Amino acid sequence: MRTLKTAREIPIGALITEAGNSKDYKTGDWRSMKPIWHEEGCVHCLMCWVFCPDVSIKVENGKMVGIDYDHCKGCGICARECPRKEKALEMVKE
Ligand code: SF4
Ligand code: SF4
């Protein structure tokens, strides 16, 4: 389990001291909507992966395999851009 840094351990505002550290923060915590993936309707075009601003579409061997809910903020861009719409990606309340 990750322990939170104290005020004295946090770097001075806006400094990024570790590249890629955003993966350590579960930014999906404040999501109010979430995408549900329907595998049977997906054609693995990966448009959702291209457009997701939070790199939350999981891909293995060139195919979509799921959604990283730890970091998905529920913006709905993936569902909007999916050519299969509700057949493959559906937005629901958290
Ligand atoms: S955009 Fe839609 S059809 Fe394409 S990979 Fe994503 S969920 Fe599947
Ligand atoms: S809802 Fe937004 S953040 Fe979540 S997977 Fe879709 S595009 Fe990415």
Q: What integer pLDDT is reported at residue 1 of this predicted model?
A: 64
d(CA 37, CA 11): 38
Closest CA to ligand 1's atom 2: 82
Nearest CA to ligand 1 atom 4: 45
Ligand 1 center to 15 CA (angstroms): 36
**pLDDT tens column, 48-75:** 999 999 999 999 999 999 999 999 999 9
Contacts of range 79-86, beta carbons closer than 8 Å, 24 or more positions apart: 79/35, 79/48, 81/47, 81/48, 81/50, 81/51, 82/47, 82/48, 83/43, 83/45, 83/47, 84/41, 84/42, 84/43
Nearest CA to ligand 1 atom 3: 42
pLDDT of residue 6: 87
- Decide: 88 in ligand 1 pocket, CB within 6 A: yes
CATH 3.30.70.20 matches 26-93: yes
Please check the confidence at residue 14 and state whether its pLDDT lies above 80: no
> Which of 13-22, 25-34, 37-46, 80-89 has the least mean pLDDT?
13-22
Distance 31 CA to ligand 2 centre (A): 10
pLDDT at 42: 98
Q: Is 69 exposed, middle or buried (0-12, 13-18, 19+ CB in 10 A)?
A: middle
- pLDDT score, position 64: 98
